[in-house]
Amino acid sequence: MLNEWFFLPRARLHRCARILMVCMALATSGVGTPPTDAGSAESPVTLSTGVVPTMGINEGTEGTLLFRTDQAGRFTPAPVLKTDVHIAVTGTIARATVRQEFTNPSTRKGDWLEGIYVFPLPETAAVDHLRMHVGERIIEGQIKERAEAKKVYEQAKQQGQRTSLLDQERPNIFTTSVANIGPGEHITIEIEYQETVRYDDEQFHLRFPMAVGQRYIPGTPVIIEGQVPTGSGTMLDTDRVPDASRITPPIQSPRYGSINPLSLSLTLHPGFPIDKVESSFHPIISIPDAEGGYHVTLRADAVPADRDFQLSWHPVARTEPIATVFTEQKNGQTYAMLMLAPPTQHDEKAPRVPRDLTFIIDTSGSMAGPSIDQAKRALAAALPRLSMQDRFNIIQFNHTVRSLFAGPQPVTTTTIKQAIHYTERLSADGGTEVLPALRQALKSPQESARLQQIILLTDGQVGNEEELFELLHQRVGTRRLFTIGIGSTPNSHLMRKAAEFGRGTFTYIGKVEEVEQKLERLFRKLERPVLTDVSVDQAGWSGLEQYPARIADLYEGEPIVLAMKADALPSHATLHGQVGSRPWSLPVSLNQTATQGGLSVYWAWQKISSLMDEATKEGRAEVTKTSVIEVALAHHLVSQYTSLVAVDVTPARPTDVPGTEPGQTTNLANMQLSALPKTATGWQLQLLLGLSALVLAALVRRLRNEVA
Amino acid sequence: MTGTWHRSRPVVWLIASLLAIGLWQVWEGSWMYAKAGLAQLLLQRAWTRSLEGEAMPKPWPWADTWPIARLRMPRLSVDLIVLAGAHGRTLAFGPGHVGSSALPGQTGTMMLAGHRDTHFQFLQELQPDDRLEIVGMDGTTRRYRVTERQVMDSQRDSIATSDERAELILVTCFPFDAITTGGPLRFVVRADAIPQADRS
């Protein structure tokens, strides 16, 4: 055998290679691991003991709706649920009315159902109306504090009254519960919400989520409510356990699939001339109206709700920024939305502002892996795009601060080469000390002729709030601060506030996979400033409350939108700003403006968002809650602390028919598991790999010695 | 072709690099494991300081976390210092407290995450009715009884939390003996607080 090896070195090499491969395969496949390991993205029912994936059962039949029964594994088919949608777009506000019809398909006497419908809405959606249609009657939902609304709902449910409750589970997940739907009965629930339209790539986009994918519902909150009791019962929200009779709460899957017919109509008043209206996935008919708007309907009367509806409209090309104002009078107050849109075409003649770019990048241990790699790639792509009049610097920090240059350096081939080399060598290790890095960045002198942008990227908890703001207060001056937070830990509130203070933006990157793409987008945006130092002439306004409080710069591809509330408006306002070093101003008429609904809601929503930022601050939670409830109640808004509840006072279910069990109320909330970090170090894999490499080294060496 | 391959430079290089890779990986792996144990020693000291009244004592000068509770499980002789924040950086040193959940002493769900191959390895041995203890920064101990263990898929499931019940949730990766990291499954242990009066 040995002789054979001796004379057939090639075979021996093959043998070596085989051993190596076996070792590698062993290491990567995981010795002694059950077959359902890491790699399998979809892990089916069997493993999730106590958790039954919502629609895992019917995945094959594409979105069939099921009512769960009390017997595990048995389902009643759900009724066809009809959805009507009307959307009105004003400027960048889209106001949507969604009507959903709930039906109890059962013909058995006494089958009173409770429907729980989980649906996704865009992150920026503000829900302010809930109407319940029972026969001819319409019951308008009342806004109440969340716990109180729930109590009202529960009480009505016990008393056999038809009732409906709209809760916000998370910023983009809402649930509608409808109790006491009699056998064969229909109940229509109408909700109204509004959201802001997205602007990028020089066009506006509106998306109405129809097909629900991972994007909107990363988890499935339904599971918890409809789960078959496992005995322990702690996961169960017992007050939602069905009546003692046979049926558990019918669960309407968010993937309401192709059997759910949907009709949609839309009116569009963008506030500026537009070129064309396009729908990405559905054929539409769009008819222009007299006021420069459009009326849009789907070409088909009803479509299966199997893909999102997406509409885009392009503003007519122009080279100057334009401002549009919409106003609304409500309860003696004037609400206004001021939109300043950048030019759609790059004006080559416009003076280019020289920029000073300072990248502050977190290279602490937790950035290791995809975060740092993607940040490096985005940075390496952005560096060569700097122009000759720009200057730049790169600062990295972990427990120490390292700066590539002492201060921003002019762009030359040498410095860029140096920077790219420096970027390539960035590696993540150690702790996080943000303050010294920021201090270093703020050391270089301010220059009013240049646009000084500081980009701070971190995935850590930025503590020591007071010290940070004191530093910003003293040193930030005319510099702009853009903050980027990666992962689940960043102190969003603090970073958002810091960016607002520095007249920049805060970018939150929840998924590590998105780091490169989001950074790339931000870097590109920062290259094209149109207007800086934007301000609104304050003369003539009284009692003005405006969000955001400090106005950011105008960049190509992104409008500035201000939500304002005032006791009185002047007839004209003037916008001021700087194009490069040249002053710019634009008069805006305020009494000729189109009056539109929904602006007060928009303002209130902005106010709530800004208040919610405060909630994370220590000791502020209670104060925030009170202020949020105050604003939400005044503006009829569903929030984390308020819900809409509608009760039909006429009892529907005879009280001798078994009602729901009085359950203990637990305040249900959900924690996304995916928000938690990976909880394995993998030291065993490393040990195994290391040992296999050592064994191999010994093997190869022995072979060599034998040969010699 | 015959008999000379073994003297060639590539073979020497192969041996050298295999040695280097091997030593490096062995070092990294053992260091990671050792760090998990060593850090707990330093943390115990910081914990004592925190009981003495120091706010947010840093266990080492450049640390960006601090102990906030002590997790004990008498049956398996587990005694761990829980750190503020559950992210990669803290978890290397000890179990982390999920920032959005309740703090020790508060009502509501308290959630801790830990590495399945270091600190939270003991979770696989937990049985229903096992007792766990959380010592808060004020020195008070709250006892919990394990009620439920389940495997969840982090890509699709969420955990119901409450702000009224006093309960403890421990989360770690699953399966416990997987060699590779980064799988989507999580092992979730739920424990209910035992009322103070009932010290059975």
Q: Are residues A244 and A123 in the same domain?
A: yes
DSSP A69: B
**Contact call for residues A114 and A226 (beta carbons, < 8 A):** no
Count up the domains in chain A and report the number.
3
**Contact call for residues A430 and B62 (beta carbons, < 8 A):** yes
- Give helix A492-501 / helix A465-475 axis angle, nearest 10°: 10
Cβ-Cβ contacts under 8 Å, A219 against chain B: 156-158
**Among B residues 50-109, those touching chain A with beta carbons less than 8 Å apart:** 62-64, 85-89, 91-92, 96, 98-101, 109
Distance from C-alpha of A551 to C-alpha of A544, rounded to nearest angstrom? 14
Q: Are residues A288 and A393 in the same domain?
A: no
CB contact under 8 A, A692 and B22: yes
Output the six-digit token pair for A351.
């003076």
Burial A93-111 (b: 16+ CB within 10 A, else e): bbbbbbbbbbbbbbeeebb
- The minimum CA-CA distance between A528 and chain B, rounded to whole Å, is 36
CB contact under 8 A, A677 and B86: yes
Looking at the DSSP bridge assignments, the partners of residue A94 are: A89, A195
Query: Nearest 5°: phi and psi at A409?
Result: -110, 150
Does residue B179 belong to the interface with chain A, where contact is any CB pair within 8 Å? yes
At A629-675, the pLDDT tens digits run 888 888 888 887 888 888 876 666 655 544 333 222 223 345 556 66
Distance from C-alpha of A358 to C-alpha of A377, rounded to nearest angstrom? 17
Residue of A13, A37, A48 lying closest to B151 (CB–CB): A48
Residue B126 pLDDT exceeds 80: yes
Q: Which of A613, A631, A651 is the last residue of a domain?
A: A651
| Edge-first strand listing for the sheet containing A594-595 | A545-547, A560-566, A333-341, A322-330, A594-595
DSSP B120: G
CB contact under 8 A, B183 and A37: yes
- The minimum CA-CA distance between A70 and chain B, rounded to whole Å, is 21
A interface test, pick of B64, B101, B190, B192 with most A CB neighbours within 10 Å: B64
Residue A120 lies in a domain: yes
pLDDT value of residue A251: 33
Distance from C-alpha of A705 to C-alpha of B1, rounded to nearest angstrom? 18
DSSP B10: H
Q: Which of A463, A492, A519 is the last residue of a domain?
A: A519
CB contact under 8 A, B87 and A697: no
**Among A residues 404-433, those touching chain B with beta carbons less than 8 Å apart:** 430-433
- The minimum CA-CA distance between A227 and chain B, rounded to whole Å, is 12
Output the six-digit token pair for A91.
């400027």
Residue of A9, A43, A697 lying closest to B22 (CB–CB): A697
Q: Are residues A7 and A96 in the same domain?
A: no
Residue A528 lies in a domain: no
**Contact call for residues A556 and A573 (beta carbons, < 8 A):** no
Distance from C-alpha of A54 to C-alpha of A252, rounded to nearest angstrom? 9
pLDDT value of residue A619: 64
Cβ-Cβ contacts under 8 Å, B182 against chain A: 38, 678, 680
Closest-approach residue (CA) in chain B for A678? B182
Distance from C-alpha of A344 to C-alpha of A201, rounded to nearest angstrom? 9
Q: Are residues A116 and A195 in the same domain?
A: yes
B187 by Cβ neighbours in 10 Å (0-12 / 13-18 / 19+) ranks as buried
**Contact call for residues A88 and A591 (beta carbons, < 8 A):** no
Comparing A399 with B4, the larger pLDDT belongs to A399
Cβ-Cβ contacts under 8 Å, A234 against chain B: 147-148, 167, 190, 192
Report CA A635 to chain centroid distance, whole Å: 23
Distance from C-alpha of A26 to C-alpha of A216, rounded to nearest angstrom? 38
Does residue A53 belong to the interface with chain B, where contact is any CB pair within 8 Å? yes
**Among A residues 501-520, those touching chain B with beta carbons less than 8 Å apart:** none
pLDDT value of residue B180: 77
CB contact under 8 A, A684 and B29: yes
Distance from C-alpha of B57 to C-alpha of B169, rounded to nearest angstrom? 25
CB contact under 8 A, B113 and A676: yes
Comparing A212 with B23, the larger pLDDT belongs to B23
Cβ-Cβ contacts under 8 Å, B186 against chain A: 673, 676, 679
Identify the H or E element spanning A103.
strand A93-103
Cβ-Cβ contacts under 8 Å, A41 against chain B: 155, 184
Residue of B28, B64, B148 lying closest to A232 (CB–CB): B148
Residue A13 lies in a domain: yes
Cβ-Cβ contacts under 8 Å, B120 against chain A: 679
Output the six-digit token pair for A633.
């109640």
pLDDT value of residue A659: 39
Closest-approach residue (CA) in chain A for B92? A681
Angle A469-A473-A476 (CA atoms, 0-180°, nearest 5)?
A: 105
Residue A662 lies in a domain: no
Q: Are residues A414 and A297 in the same domain?
A: no
Output the six-digit token pair for A587.
């008069």
Cβ-Cβ contacts under 8 Å, A701 against chain B: 15
Q: What is the pTM of this model?
A: 0.56
Burial A558-576 (b: 16+ CB within 10 A, else e): bbbbbbbbbeebeeebebe
B interface test, pick of A10, A676, A704 with most B CB neighbours within 10 Å: A676
Nearest residue to A458 via CA among A476, A483, A440: A483
CB contact under 8 A, B181 and A685: yes
Residues in chain A where the model's pLDDT stays below 50: 1-78, 80, 211-258, 657-669
Q: What are the angstrom distances between the C-alpha of B162 and each of A262, A463, A581, B111? A: 36, 27, 55, 11
Q: Are residues A235 and A288 in the same domain?
A: yes
Question: Which amino acid makes up residue A639?
Answer: S
Residue of B22, B151, B157 lying closest to A219 (CB–CB): B157
**Contact call for residues A306 and A261 (beta carbons, < 8 A):** no
Q: Where are the beta strands (DSSP E) in B138-184?
A: 141-153, 158-161, 166-173
Residue A605 lies in a domain: no
Residue of A220, A368, A430 lying closest to B62 (CB–CB): A430
Residue of A41, A368, A463 lying closest to B155 (CB–CB): A41
**Contact call for residues A69 and A75 (beta carbons, < 8 A):** yes
- The minimum CA-CA distance between B52 and chain A, rounded to whole Å, is 22
- The minimum CA-CA distance between A520 and chain B, rounded to whole Å, is 25
Closest-approach residue (CA) in chain A for B178? A33
Report CA A556 to chain centroid distance, whole Å: 22
Q: For chain B, give the percent of residues with pLDDT over 70.
A: 88
Nearest residue to A389 via CA among A436, A426, A357, A432: A357
At A366-375, the pLDDT tens digits run 777 777 888 8
Does residue B167 belong to the interface with chain A, where contact is any CB pair within 8 Å? yes
Domain residues for the domain of A20 are 2-27+680-707
Q: Are residues A76 and A182 in the same domain?
A: yes
Q: Are residues A277 and A417 in the same domain?
A: no
Domain map (residue ranges) of chain B: 9-193
CB contact under 8 A, B115 and A41: no
Distance from C-alpha of B98 to C-alpha of B83, rounded to nearest angstrom? 9
CB contact under 8 A, A220 and B156: yes
- The minimum CA-CA distance between A483 and chain B, rounded to whole Å, is 19
Got the DSSP string for A285-324? Answer: EEEE-TTS-EEEEESSSSEES-S-EEEEEEEPP-SS-EEE
Q: Are residues A382 and A461 in the same domain?
A: yes
Report CA A176 to chain centroid distance, whole Å: 21
CB contact under 8 A, B158 and A32: no
Cβ-Cβ contacts under 8 Å, B14 against chain A: 700
Report CA A377 to chain centroid distance, whole Å: 24
Residue A575 lies in a domain: no
Output the six-digit token pair for B121.
């390895």
Burial A252-264 (b: 16+ CB within 10 A, else e): bbbbbbebbbbbb
**Contact call for residues A565 and A545 (beta carbons, < 8 A):** yes
CB contact under 8 A, A673 and B29: no
Does residue A570 belong to the interface with chain B, where contact is any CB pair within 8 Å? no
At A108-160, the pLDDT tens digits run 666 666 666 666 666 677 888 888 887 677 778 888 888 888 888 888 887 77
Closest-approach residue (CA) in chain B for A428? B89
Q: What are the angstrom distances between the C-alpha of B168 and each of B68, B98, B145? A: 15, 11, 9
Closest-approach residue (CA) in chain B for A704? B6
At B150-165, the pLDDT tens digits run 888 777 666 777 766 7
Nearest residue to A608 via CA among A569, A634, A647: A634
Cβ-Cβ contacts under 8 Å, B190 against chain A: 232, 234-235
Cβ-Cβ contacts under 8 Å, B19 against chain A: 693-694, 697
pLDDT value of residue A654: 57
Q: Are residues A296 and A366 in the same domain?
A: no
Residue of A30, A681, A690 lying closest to B25 (CB–CB): A690
Residue B34 pLDDT exceeds 60: yes
Distance from C-alpha of A684 to C-alpha of B177, rounded to nearest angstrom? 9
Distance from C-alpha of A524 to C-alpha of A504, rounded to nearest angstrom? 14
Residue A660 lies in a domain: no
pLDDT value of residue A107: 65
Q: Are residues A191 and A307 in the same domain?
A: yes
Q: Are residues A167 and A295 in the same domain?
A: yes
Residue A457 lies in a domain: yes
CATH class of B9-193: mainly beta
